[in-house]
Structure 1
């Protein structure tokens, strides 16, 4: 089964491709995996499923935060010592 990617226009005429079947759970909505090409050869980042923004940041522990709405995915390995 081939999954269709959703093309999303970014500034300056750049298009990225969202896989809405591949997501990470966020506090306000999912973060969908985004590719730079429709062939999925280069992973580009994430699209916030809450506000549809691609302006997201990911740290070395896997935490993803949407810079537009604050949607947050907790780190892969989290305990009180990490704060």
Structure 2
């Protein structure tokens, strides 16, 4: 795992650009709280390069800045 350091309001975080989740515009990369990559912290939007995003209970990730979105992992009509 090759981690890149980014600065956030919560301090330095570490982005793994080799692994991520598919998004509509660009991938969402995994972000870790520690340089060893042991504690998962959130996601980094590969489209606008921000950590300002949200995940709902169904696993959908949406970037609050550019609107990049990852569809839910599971979906059925009952969730609408």
Structure 2 counterpart of 1:44, from 24, 41, 46? 41
Q: Distance in 1 between matches of 2:32 and 2:79?
A: 30
SS of match in other structure, 1:19: strand
Distance in 2, matches of 1:45 and 1:19, equals 11
Residue 31 of structure 2 is matched in structure 1 by 34
**1:7 equivalent in structure 2:** 5
SS at match of 2:78: helix
Taking the aligned partners of 1:60 and 1:71, their CA distance within structure 2 comes to 17
Higher-strand-fraction structure: 2
Unaligned runs of 5+ residues in structure 1 are none
TM-score by length of 2: 0.93
User: Is there any run of 5+ residues in structure 2 with no aligned partner, and where?
Assistant: none
Please, what is the CA RMSD of the aligned residues? 1.1
Task: Name 1:68's counterpart in structure 2.
Answer: 65
Note if contact 2:13-2:31 (Cα within 8 Å) is conserved in structure 1: yes
TM-score (norm 1): 0.90
Number of residue pairs aligned between Structure 1 and Structure 2: 80
